[in-house]
Structure formats: structure tokens, C-alpha cells
Structure 1
Amino acid sequence: MSNRSAVDTIRGYFYQFDLSILSILQLESLDDSVEVECIEDIDIRTATEVTATQCKYYAKTEYNHSVIKDAVKHMVSHFRETLLGTKPKVSYAIKGYYASGQEKLDDGVDVAFLKDNFLTYSKGRGSSKVTHYHHTELGLSDADLKEFLKRLTIDVWAREFDEQYREILDAIQKSFVSTTFAAEYFYYNNALAVIRQLSIKSVPADRTITKKKFLERVNTSTVLFNEWFIEKKGKKAHLSALRKEYFTELNISPYERFFLIEVDPNGYVRSDLKDIFFQLSKKWAKLSAREPSPFCPYIYVHGVPSDELIALKTELILEDFKIIDGHDFQGADFSHRSIAQKATYGNKIKIKVLNTLPNIEQTVGAIFTTRRIYQFYLGNSYFDHEDPAIRHVKIQVEKLSDIQSII
């Protein structure tokens, strides 16, 4: 498969996932549900009916009846089983976006058109070529096909990829009363992860979700490192957007900022972590003699053994990079008063290091000025603070260098 074909295929997957998300958001009742890849790509279940929907994205293809022929044949086969009582009655829908040719269906579909263009096909070549009539082989009468058409909707004017995406973000903003950024990086990102998880379940019942449950699962304030979302946005653009949203301030206010950083102990390089210390101090500390309210950030490192953290702090001190960690002398207990002392031009405190999660909790709880917590994690979030007065941003990353790109 060429790179261009691969890109088109991936966009096709996203188009289907996005339609699933939009279909859920547009459900009228919280108890209505969507089944992902069951009878068709998407099955929409309300209190009164089920609609089996197949969607395709053909951005570079002219619409021809042959493009949806197999889908119609499959639906007709399923329809026959509903007549026999072996499967429940459903409605059918085909949605597709095409580069051109949509006018070929402007006159609609009647029984004759259905048979000629969708249910008649040939196999073989030359003298061995055989024409098949799908409806005849299934034993369906014209009356049966007329009933099938009452249940079928064909939309060849579906929304373009980016247009559908914008519609999703608009629907999310209305559902959660959110900003544009939150709609995309929190809710859509999470929605995409939920739909992806549903689509790979082996049991159809496990691929079903109500609107209520979907909104609950999507409603989190955590930025996930979702590989599908990253594929769609591009990693560089993703990291840049996070930096712009959270770490670009023209005039940095003297808030108490806590940076919680997780590292992989198996892939850990001390110099990389030191660079983050330097970077955070340079950007988020103000210690000049003319600064009316000097300040510096707090840092907690998750995943590094205590002896390695001691070695790191030792190197920083030897390089005249002054830190404090809330322990005033050897053997002293942690003191939130000690670590919360003001960093100034005179004492040159550039970073305040928190050694444990309880140290964070004690310090955050003892401060009453504006506090912000920025937590970077690899797999699972490791710190929660429920105080609504504190802004707590959780960002999942893939590796330490991602943090450098964000901050």
C-alpha cells in the first residue's frame, strides 16, 4: 500500500469513528444507544427502532452505483432474515462522501432501479460468465423489495471529513458547555478513545453504549495520549497546542506552580531530567532584585528511585543551582513551612523539590495563594487533588522529551 493509500485508509477509519461519535451526540434520549460495527458499521438503537448504518469516505472517487452495491446486497440479505423471523426488524442507512457523481441518485431508487443497479451482478469471464439476481436467489418478491426500500435511506451527500469534524466539536461544546480547546483535546480525544475501545470488543453486546454512559466516560479533564488522536492531529501540532494553551503567558503571575513529572526508570537519563529542571526554572521563576513578588516552581519527580533523586539534587547543588526540599537538616521530618518559604533574589532558591506524593499534598494544602498543578504522566494518573480552587491539569505523554516540547 502506498503512503497516499495508507493516509486515505486512515482517514476512512476516522470518518467512520467520527460518524459514530456524532451519532451518539445527536441521540435524543440518554437511554438511546449506538452499537459499533454490529450489523453494519454503526447500529443506532432508540426506544422505537434500530438503524443499521454503513458509512464510507470516498474523497477522491466519483459516485457509481457499484460503490455501494455490496452494502445494499448485504442489507437485502439481512432484510430477508427479518422476514423469516430469524433476525429482528431494523432500518438501513448508507452514508457516503464522494468527489462527484452524486446526481446519479437524484431521481431516487424504486424497485426496478434497485434490482437493475444493486442486486444484479455477474461472475466469471467470457463464455463462463454468469449473471446473478440476488433478490431472486433470496426468493424476494417485488412487494418484499418495496418494503425493503421503505426501510432504506441512501445519503450520498454526507458531510466532508473536516466539515463533519467541526460539527462534532460544535456538538461537544453544546453538550459540555466547553471551550474550543477543551472540546477537542479533552472530550473529542476521550470520545475517540472510547469508540476505538468499543470497536475492538469481540462480543457485540460489549460494543454497545448508551448516550448517558458515553458522556460519562468522555467527561474527564485529562489530556490523553491517544495514538489515534495523535495520528489525526500530528504529534508536533498536538504538543504545540498544549504548550499554547497552558504554558504560554506574556506576563507570568506569581502563582505557586507545581510540576509533577513522571519518568520511565528503564529509559531514564539524568541529563534529560536536569534539562527540565533548568527549563522550568528559567521560564517559571522570577528572582530579579526588581521583582516585587519573586517566586519559583515546585517539582516532583515520579518513578525515580530515592538514591537517584539524591544524586540529581547533589549535581544541581554542585553546579550552584540552589534547591530546597523541605528538610532543614539531616534526619529532619518534611516541613511544608520550610519548602513554602519565599524564593528571592537574596536566597537564590531556583527550584523547590518535593520528594513524595504526601509532601505534595501537605504543601498544596498549606498554601492559600493561587495554586496550579501540572501533572505529566506516562500510563496512569498518580496524583489527585479535589479542591476546586486549584487548577489541576493532567497531561499524558509518551516520553520525557514530550514534556520539554510542551513546557
Structure 2
Amino acid sequence: MKDRSAVDTIRGYFYQFDLSILSILRLINPDDSIEIECTEDIDIRTATELTATQCKYYAKTEYNHSVIKEAVMYMLSHFKEVKGGLKPKVKYAIRGHYASGQHKLDGGIDVKFLKDNFLTYTDKGKKHLHHDELNLNDTDLGEFLTLLTVDIQAEELDVQYRAVIRELETAFNCKEFSAEFYFYSNALAIIRELSIQPAPADRTITKKAFLKKLDTSGVLFNEWFVQRKGKKAYLAALRKEYFTELNISPFERFFLIETKPQMYMRDDLKELIHILSEKWSKLSKRDPAPFCPYIYIHGISDDELLALKKDLHVEEFKFIDGHDYQNADFNVHSIMQKASHDNGVRAKILNSIRNLEETLSAITKTRKVFQFHFGQSYFESTNPSVGFVKIQVELFSDIKAII
């Protein structure tokens, strides 16, 4: 029960996050804004009005008036403060998805229905009329109803999610994968960060600012997005998008791998180098254009890099690194030499960012760079002719699972 309850709670969070994202993407003007967790779950502000929206997601529960009763009473209390000149006028909206029971509001809400079903309650055996306690008459309640919208037939979570993805595809003129793994993942992070700010002003963002923050150039690891997709499915989708090719073209591919002392294991790194060589090389005698990958390891010490190379050499894994003899300077033409079946070169190891930059600049063939990092990009390419993909990972083992 606890596990199912936790899942339902998380789905409720996603429903509100997605509605926030959808609300801001559908704003007409760039300077219109949303406010997270201010008057209600989501406040939508345009140049002419403010709408306070509360959303509820009960996919397994029948709709009953009691479910939204507290929200209606709270909104009426706010309306009273507006009437008293204490707060600015707003519109109110309640949006929810339920398993059934939607017919209970088929007749709409009039003043009598409002009083009987939403404003009357019992506390400690005593009947209370919330509108009387607020000193609001039927005319006031009628005015309140003109400002209130109740939608209990809102879209199901996954339907709403697909709507968000379509809006992102349109906003950035991109494919579905980019909309999900670049922009939606980043949108979740932005909304989550806004929601935990203590000051209301810091929980507000315009459409223009939101879109600017969304425009990222790489796959960012977002724990909320990964939880939504499932870690296994998330890694598999990245592999399918970037590292599954039926016929591998003879491009010059650069794999930039970050390591950290607390998660570094030489055997893991050697295994990854072997995998990269096996998957991204063509070295048979029949291949007219043989090739093998370039590999740069970021965050490894000079001593450990040397030890790694010694291990590869002992294991008869042939590589080149652009240094032709002891203490020789890096020679870009040396590392650019063609790998083939005859010379047995299975990988080209770059020792530094500078070596990487020199090599990328010297090559004229199609170049593709895949950078894996743990949160901070360590290499940027400004050359538009170089294909560049940045992927943030959580664990070193994620790299192997993706590749």
C-alpha cells in the first residue's frame, strides 16, 4: 500500500509539473508569466488578468464534491479579501482528473449548489456555512461564480504529457527525442527549482525567460525525468538515439569520457575502451575506408593514464596517442594516421584537451564528438561542422549502458 501510495503521490507531482509547463508554453505573449505555489498551485498572469489554478490528480478515485470542497472554500476566502480591497482581483480555476463521477457536475454550479455542496460543513457536530462566516450574500456568491472555472474532466497524466512534448516540438522546431530528453528534462528542473524558492517573486517566470533557460545543448541528467522514464528505459533511449547504427559510416568519432576518483576503476575503463573499439571500428581487409575511435579520458592523472596504457599494451590492445617516441611532442599527423587491419590500431587515445582541439581542427572528414560528463561540461566546440553531443550521466556504469 505504501509503495502504491508513493507512486500515486509522484504521479500527482508530475501532473502539476506538466500542467505548469503546459500553461507557460501556451501563454500568448512572451512577457506573460506563471507563478508556482503562490495563490494556488499555479498562477497564470497575463497583461490583463491573473488566474489562480489548483490541480488535482486522482486517476483511481471517483469524483466527489468533498474532494474540491476545501479548495473552493479557500478561493472564496481569497475572494472576500479581494472584495475588502486587501488583495487584487483574480480568476479561479480548479482542474482535475478522476477515474469516474464526472457526471456529478453535469448540471453546472449555481449559487444554491455552491452553498449546499461546497460551503456547508460540520465541525465538532456543529453546522457551519462558510459564506455566512465570510458575510457574503447570494449576489457576492454569484459574482464569485463568474470568476470560478471547475474542470473535472482534465486530461489523464500521459495524455497531458504528450501535449507538453508536442508544444516543445513546436516551440523549438525539434524532433520528439530532443523535446523529451533536452527540453522537457530541463523544464522539469526549472519548475522544480522555482517551486522550492521561499519568496513568491522568485517563484515567478515569464514565457520568454522560461524558453531561454530551456534552450540547452545537451542531455542533462534530471532525477525526476529519469524516474518518470525508468532508468533502464532512459539509458536504452539514449543508446537508440545516438549509438545504434546498422551500417556504421566511416566518420571520425571522438568519445570523451569523464572519470572521478571516487568511482574510478581501471578495469571498468579498460572494458569501456574495448567496447568502443569493437563497436566503432571497421578494420577488416575488405573495408575500403577502415577507421577506429578517438578516446579522451577526462579527470585521470598522468600516472594513472600511463598505467592504463601499459595494461592495454600488455594485453596486446594496439593504440596510438600521437607521440612517436619517448618525450616526443604531440604530432597531430601521427594520431591521424589511418587505422587498418594491417597496422592493427584499434583506438586513438588523446592525452589532453589541447591534443583533442588540435586533432579536431586538423581533420577535414566528418567529425562527431560524444562527451560524457557528470554535471559540468569540460569541452565546448564552436565549429558548426562538428557534430557534438553532450550527455550528463549519474554513474560511470551508465556510459557503458548507453554505448
Secondary structure at the counterpart of residue 87 of structure 1: coil
Q: Residues of 2 paired with 1:77 and 1:329: CA distance?
A: 81
Could you tell me which of 378, 382, 388 is aligned with 1:386? 382
Q: TM-score, normalised by structure 2?
A: 0.99
Instruction: Identify the residue that residue 271 of structure 1 maps to in structure 2.
Output: 267
Residue 289 of structure 1 deviates from its aligned partner by: 1.2
> 1:263, 1:399 within 8 Å by CA — same for their partners in 2?
no
Residues 169-184 of structure 1: matches in 2 within 5 Å? 169-184=165-180
Q: Residues of 2 paired with 1:389 and 1:61: CA distance?
A: 54
Could you tell me which of 201, 208, 211 is aligned with 1:205? 201
Deviation digits for residues 322-350 of structure 1 (CA, Å, limit 9, x no counterpart): 11111112222212111111111111111
Q: Residues of 1 paired with 2:24 and 2:282: CA distance?
A: 48
Residue 242 of structure 1 deviates from its aligned partner by: 0.4
Secondary structure at the counterpart of residue 352 of structure 1: strand
RMSD over aligned CA atoms reads: 0.9
Residues 130-169 of structure 1: matches in 2 within 5 Å? 130-169=126-165
Secondary structure at the counterpart of residue 54 of structure 2: strand
Deviation digits for residues 282-316 of structure 1 (CA, Å, limit 9, x no counterpart): 00011111111010001111111111011001100
Deviation digits for residues 220-256 of structure 1 (CA, Å, limit 9, x no counterpart): 1211110000010000000000000100000001100
Question: Aligned AA for 1:275?
Answer: E
Instruction: Identify the residue that residue 189 of structure 1 maps to in structure 2.
Output: 185
Residues 54-65 of structure 1: matches in 2 within 5 Å? 54-65=54-65
> 1:222, 1:394 within 8 Å by CA — same for their partners in 2?
yes
Residues 112-123 of structure 1: matches in 2 within 5 Å? 112-123=112-123
Query: Percent identity of the aligned residues?
Result: 63
Instruction: Identify the residue that residue 82 of structure 2 maps to in structure 1.
Output: 82
> 2:370, 2:388 within 8 Å by CA — same for their partners in 1?
yes
Q: Residues of 2 paired with 1:198 and 1:357: CA distance?
A: 36
Residue 189 of structure 1 deviates from its aligned partner by: 1.0
Residue 197 of structure 1 deviates from its aligned partner by: 1.0
In the alignment, structure 1 segments of 5+ residues that lack a partner are none
Residue 183 of structure 1 deviates from its aligned partner by: 1.1
Does residue 37 in structure 1 map to residue 33 in structure 2? no
In the alignment, structure 2 segments of 5+ residues that lack a partner are none
Residue 359 of structure 1 deviates from its aligned partner by: 1.2
* Number of matched pairs: 403
> 2:263, 2:396 within 8 Å by CA — same for their partners in 1?
no
Residue 215 of structure 1 deviates from its aligned partner by: 0.8
Could you tell me which of 356, 362, 374 is aligned with 2:358? 362
Secondary structure at the counterpart of residue 153 of structure 1: strand
Q: Which runs of 4+ in 1 moved over 3 A?
A: none
Question: Aligned AA for 2:223?
Answer: E
Residues 170-319 of structure 1: matches in 2 within 5 Å? 170-319=166-315
Instruction: Identify the residue that residue 337 of structure 2 maps to in structure 1.
Output: 341
Q: TM-score, normalised by structure 1?
A: 0.98
> 1:258, 1:372 within 8 Å by CA — same for their partners in 2?
yes
